[in-house]
Structure 1
Amino acid sequence: MKKHNRHILYREFILAFLFLCGTVTLKAQIDIQTKEKRDRFEILYDILQDGFNKPKSDSLRSLMDEALDIALYLNNDTLIARSYNFLGGYFDGVGNYERSLEYLYKAIEASKRSGDIRSRIMMLNNIAWAHTQAYNYEKGRDICLEGIALLDSLNDPEIANSVSSFIFNNLAISLTELGELDKALTANLNAQKANEIVHSPVMGGWILGQFGRIFEEKKNIEKAESYYKGCIEYSDSIDHQFSLVYGSVYYARMLNDHSRHREALKIGHLALNVGTEIQYNRYLIDAAKELRIAYAELGFADSAYHYAQTEISIRDSLFSAQKSQQMNDLVFGREIEKKEEQHKLEVLKKNNEIERQRIVRNTLIGGFLLLAIFAFLVLIQRNRISRERKRSEELLLNILPKEVAEELKEKGEAEAQLIEKVTVLFTDFKGFTAMSEILSPKDLVKDLDLCFSEFDKITSKYGIEKIKTIGDAYMAAGGLPTPNTTHATDVIKAALEMRDFVEAGKAKKIQAGLPYFEVRIGIHTGPVVAGIVGVKKFQYDIWGDTVNTASRMESSGQIGQVNISEATYELVKENSEFNFSSRGKIKAKGKGELEMYFVKLN
């Protein structure tokens, strides 16, 4: 009998042990999946932040769709609020203000549940903006005031000032259009005061433009003109084209109203050209209208007729585009609604599963059930690995670093990695826009291809990874995906060879009497996150403040020079191959004053 009882106890112990192992293993696997999805969401968030002020595209929509999918899966209200906020911004950008408001209100509800006051204020600001874009200024004003009432709830003064600059400027827009000019002036002064503390480059242009609107309505034309010019010059200096178009349209209108039609032509053309480039549909019709008025008043009937036709054409094309966009939005919206319904069902199923597990947890049957679930998860994992292996073979058809391709072969995925020391290079051609006006598209692309092909050879020679080209800019990095200790030296040598190649081409073009390229090159060293993004036509890319600083090195440089940061200089300053010229502290857009150096070969 004792032996029989011992056997029963042993069996019970084994079953309990198996139950515990199954529970721990399942929890560990869920924790890993949760971390992977959270990391993926942060990568998507950074990409979407970067693309938010650019023309909206299907690729952005796909990324927003994936971000919402992850947020709903994790049932994280903070992430859900961010996802809905991006969706609201997307639909605002394409002119679908009704759909924009729908998602922004959902973002508000999620931010209330999460208790994130800052996000809630910013989302109220976005809702107010959508109302002003739809000409509902009273609603825009009321929502701004609702957000402003929450500012005292923010304990961090820096965060409070950051959101204040946005929402007070938005309030000023609504108050101006409602004719409450003194209140509008006070609101915009509050926005300016907050922005002087947080130094947001983007807000500077909007604030100056709104001062122009306010003083124009107050009939103080001299002050209005000063602010409109300031808005245009400042927005152009930081390359923020949306506020530039906003200020230009209203400035052109004011000039026409005061019979300064020749000046209105110049500003109107600026607004139309830049607005067309960035697809700022809200103001394209207004820009064409001001050009029509100016040409008509100056007696240029043909030109006036041309811009009248342009105005009609833009209106018609926008109507047609809106119809097409509405169909796409309807489909996209239904997909989102399906995900939300699926999320509700999954939450319900999850709650039921929790209840079921609570009932069976204290029984041995629960151990068997968990073992069965574990076996099922293993089977799913095996199937997933098989699918990922097949996908990895397809990914090899893309141009990827060798190490990343090998990782895809072995794991079925390539994890994003933080690399502490990478040297990033940016090039940009001066004269590209001028050449595009002279050369045919075929010849222009031929010249650009000649340069980029040589750049590719140079990067291969020094073991540098080409990241991508963006228009006429070229981006590469050394020290990744496998870190090394020579990346700074390698990148500088490559940059100098690129510079010399462009200079040699310039000399030949001058001799032949042809237009030529001139190049600026910037280099910075620091940490980056590197990895693969997307599903179709994905690419190896890098992110981080290092990338932004490298870009500022390029834009703050000079023609025919290689401009390096202090961080890069510290790594190579003892290298006798190079000769350095200190430039001192140079102001860089969005970065303040940075120490910079020109570098040459000895």
Structure 2
Amino acid sequence: MIGQDQRKADSLKSIYDANILVGEEKLDLLTDLAFNEVNDSKLSLKFAEELISLSVKSGNNAYLAQGYLQKGNASQSIGYLDEAITAYFKSAEVARIDGNRTLEGAAYGAIADVYTISDNHVNAMTYYKKAISILSKAKDTIPWATFLLNAGDALLTNKNYDSALTYFKESGALFEQVDYATGKAYNLGNIGMVYANTGKKDLAESNINEAIRILEESQDYYPISVYLMAMADIYVEKKEHETAITYTKRSLNLAKQYGLKEQLADANEKLASLYESVGDMPLSYKHYKDHITYRDSLLNLETVQQLADQRTNFEVSQKQIEVDLLETQKRNQLIILGFIGLLLLASLWFYWAISKEKKKSEKLLLNILPEDTAKELKVNGKVKAKQYDAVTVLFTDFKGFTSYSEKLSPEALVETVDHYFSKFDAIMEKYGLEKIKTIGDAYMCVGGLHGDTQDHPDRMVKAAFEIADFVETTKKDIATSELSFDIRIGINTGPVVAGVVGTKKFAYDIWGDAVNVASRMESMSEPGKINISENTYQLVKDKYACEYRGEIPVKNRGNMKMYFVLP
């Protein structure tokens, strides 16, 4: 957060350790420690919990509201987003009762920050506006400017560049008014991000570098890590990949040193893409595996979004239960055989039972992994990652699914998703394509793996049309009207690396720039439309009429040519 100073926290720890302060002086100390402790979020959380406890005992609502606010900040930094938002709401309520408008506004702004992280843009802007309104009336300049800045950042993330710049200019004027260096640094960095996304690379570079310089002086490392990644993107656009790698490594090292989980995931993903671009596949593979590890550790994000992939988890867990039961049956069979001896009848029965269960196990494995991958796993106990020069990747997702899913029980959510994805699975089988995974409401598949090198772009487009037709038919079906959504579809063709992740609950996955571009095609598509990249267009243009959309700005990619495939 703006205003944090690790040096101040370090200087206050000796006073805390001496344990000589009591009353409001102790509460003041704990507030400063919880707020300024940047490098150790768990220690910050400890100070906040102690502040809450002492405030409750002394009946001091002013410090109690501060305690909940700092607990929310520390929890958010660690990644406990569900605990963070609960603490912020408590802070807002206590501050409202106490008549502290500044703290109430700050708590609502912090709630908006969590919704931003959770990709809930509507709720985020609702609470930002509430916070800004309260803080502007309270005339508390720094918090007011801070949430103007954060609201602008949320608009930037959603590609509303003009609106974002308006918020940044307003927050920048307020930071200048009070000569607040850290706030000005954040503002410079975020304006640089706007320039980077609107093609003004030189302005972006100068703003971001100045922001990094100021932030290094105050040891505020999270934004530095973010801005270093932005600098990497600028150099990717300039085709200077080695310089981009250098900036990304700096971001990764900061994230490792200070436990910034989100940045650990993002920096590793960026390095995987960059090393693939320069042809270093071993390093690309290593960083992608690290990206998966850190991405999956952000479990509380799934709690807040309530969009965990319950259907896939259910399928895999059921298969794992069956496999575990089979293993138990085998062990029990061996014990029985030990008691009854090596009678011929028992031996024959044992052979028949094991053969039957073995076939069942193999069938279950084939439901999880492609056939040749399953064979390799059985023979070698592991699967070697393979590179494919050209595959076609498809992503889909449902418009409005997030808000709809929040109203459903987990059972109903799984049933709803299953209605669509079961049909998608059948379409994949019809066209000889490979389903890779589902992620919440997103569905991912690929064509062109395992020796399947012929006409996979054409088959993928045909499958995409069937998916779109099925979704449209479902919308018109009165019996299933509550399950109806609009779907976006994106397709790209290019090289990938494929392999198996995990040692117990195996997951077959693909990665590479082609996957990232396919995902971007989906996110830049429109409801009911099939959006394809230039690569795929060149392979299908003779078979399908396509509408050229122009060169469209894509996050972390610059401008990319896109086409809608026409029915």
TM range (shorter): 0.3 to 0.5
Compute the TM-score of the two structures, normalised by the length of structure 2.
0.47
Which structure would you say has the larger Rg?
Answer: 1
